Structure 1
């Protein structure tokens, strides 16, 4: 069951990334990546990196969890389940913040 949830999570993150690449400021070369506490943009990354970083980080985290908790299957499955929920949510928040920042610049 956990593996089905992981597959759905990865597919959701891929879908969010594809949608964002096509719709979030398609003419911009660089997109916001980090904001200060006051809401100012600290730095920007190239477009492809900015959109792909969250799914790649989540996939890396899934692999690390899978490798280092091989002996405790219940712990591994619980951690992977949480990551499968948190990953797409974090990506959606990041994409929404990017879209809002770009909209406010115009």
Structure 2
């Protein structure tokens, strides 16, 4: 069951990334990656990296969880369940912030 939830989560992150790549600030070569406390952009990344970094980080975290929790299946499944819910939510939040920043800059 956890693997189905994990697969849906990965598919959701991929869908968000594809949608964001096509629709969020389509004319911008670089997208915001970090903001200051005042809401100013600290740095930007190339478009492909900006939309792919969160899914890649989540996939890396999933692999790390599999490697380090091989003996405790309950702990592994709980960690994967949390990642399954947090990954798409954080990715959607990041893309929403990118879209808002791009919209305000126009």
Is TM more than 0.5 here? Answer: yes
Number of the residue aligned with 1:62: 62
CA distance in 1: counterparts of 2:98 and 2:19, whole angstroms:
13
**Offset of 1:26 from its aligned partner?**
1.0
CA distance in 1: counterparts of 2:66 and 2:86, whole angstroms:
16
Query: Which runs of at least 4 in structure 1 moved beyond 4 Å after TM superposition?
Result: none
Number of the residue aligned with 1:14: 14
CA-to-aligned-CA distance 1:8-36 (integer Å, 9 cap, x gap): 00000000000000000111100000000
CA distance in 2: counterparts of 1:89 and 1:49, whole angstroms:
18
User: Is 1:97 aligned to 2:100, yes or no?
Assistant: no
* Count of aligned residue pairs for this structure pair: 106
User: Is 1:33 aligned to 2:28, yes or no?
Assistant: no
CA-to-aligned-CA distance 1:35-77 (integer Å, 9 cap, x gap): 0011100000000000000000000000000110000000000
Specify every segment of 5 or more residues in structure 2 that has no aligned partner in the other structure, as ranges.
none
Q: TM-score, normalised by structure 2?
A: 0.99
What is the root-mean-square deviation of aligned Cα atoms in Å?
Answer: 0.4
Number of the residue aligned with 1:53: 53
